[in-house]
Amino acid sequence: MAETQVWRVDPNAPDLEHTPQIQAAAEKLAQGEIVAFPTETVYGLGGSAKVQDSVRKIYEAKGRPSDNPLIVHVANLEQVREICTEIHPVAQKLIHAFWPGPLTLVLPSRGTVSNAVTAGLSTVAVRMPSHPVARALISASNLPIAAPSANRSGRPSPTRAEHVFNDLDGRIAGILDGGETGVGVESTVVDCTTTPITILRPGGITKEQLIEVVGLVSDDPGLVRSDQAPKAPGMKYKHYAPSATMYLVPAGESRIRELISSERAKGRRVGVLTTEEKQDSYPGVDVLLVCGRRSEPATVAHHLFDVLRHFDQKEVDVIFSETFDQKGIGKAVMNRLSKAAGGRILD
């Protein structure tokens, strides 16, 4: 593929849909190419959800397993009805409360999107992003856009255009650079075909927020057999991992200090993921990266993927991470950290 184009666009520009940058990206989508664009969560890698070849290019560019379904991004309810057989009453409540926004709904598929989007399942994952660039691109292309995160499979998700460029330059047609994303972790995925609804992936909308709207909400245990296709992204495969081996350390600062001393004595370069409140707790560590404020978990979510990528630039051998309360968006933070660490927890 030719060199990846980068179109810088002001998310606050008037009549954004008709700006040259959005029009250029929409034209690429119409031609069956794939482009990256910002959402309020992370950058997505988009192609027409109805064109098999476009979807194939997404999987190839990312190196993504073909049984890992994609989320379809829409601009309006008409597009939802085009790809779903019905919108359940509970789903209607969630749409009214949280769309546009970081919530993905798993609904019965009408079969109008590529079979590769759904990984052969009878359901399809749909969301309406709130980011103005994403909305403008979907409207300008007049297409439902299949879009996973715009990174190489297994890497931390991208929250800046440069993250996308570092992972996918030469693999995709273009990148709409709309600046840093907001939430920082991906959308919450909810299966609306179960009673009660089931959270398949925690994200930008918390369980507590969902309960306020629909009452009873279930959590999926996240156990997917090797011969089984997951209903949503992030359920089956290793994700979000930096290059260095990473461990979660629930015991706190004193245990992390012990681990730093032990690893450095072996000649290893050590990194620690911490917060503003505890940044003075680790003297002698090689690389200390601050990931927001513990008192404000949303700031941790916002900075998480950027920090994980920054460790790669620092070339550490091992990373020890603090852990977080799994209330509110902290549940999404711990979900991503656990996957980044490959489930390695040091008690």
114 annotated as a binding-site residue: no
Mean pLDDT of 241-260: 96
157 annotated as a binding-site residue: yes
Smallest Cα–Cα separation from 39: which of 167, 147, 169, 155? 147
CA separation (Å) from 312 to 44, 61, 135, 218?
21, 21, 32, 36
64 annotated as a binding-site residue: yes
123 annotated as a binding-site residue: yes
- Per residue in 254-276, pLDDT (tens digit) is 999 999 999 999 999 999 999 99
240 annotated as a binding-site residue: yes
pLDDT for residue 249 is more than 60: yes
- Per residue in 55-106, pLDDT (tens digit) is 999 999 999 888 889 999 999 999 999 999 999 999 999 999 999 999 999 9
149 annotated as a binding-site residue: yes
pLDDT for residue 225 is more than 80: no
Per-residue b or e along 159-197, where b marks 16 or more CB atoms closer than 10 Å to that residue's CB: bbbebbbbbbeebbbbbbbbeebbbbbbbbbbbbbeeeb
- Domains (ranges, CATH) in the chain? 5-219 (3.90.870.10), 245-340 (3.40.50.11030)
Cα–Cα dist 212/142, whole Å = 34
DSSP conformation class of 157 = P
Cα–Cα dist 10/14, whole Å = 9
Please give the pLDDT value at position 67: 81
Please give the pLDDT value at position 233: 67
147 annotated as a binding-site residue: yes
151 annotated as a binding-site residue: no
Q: How would you list the strands of the sheet with 318-321, edge to edge?
A: 245-248, 318-321, 270-274, 287-290
Mean pLDDT of 237-255: 89
Smallest Cα–Cα separation from 176: which of 305, 71, 43? 43
Quick one: tokens of 32? 């069956």
pLDDT for residue 222 is more than 70: no
41 annotated as a binding-site residue: yes
Please give the pLDDT value at position 240: 82
pLDDT for residue 235 is more than 70: no
Please give the pLDDT value at position 221: 72
8 annotated as a binding-site residue: no
pTM of the full structure: 0.93
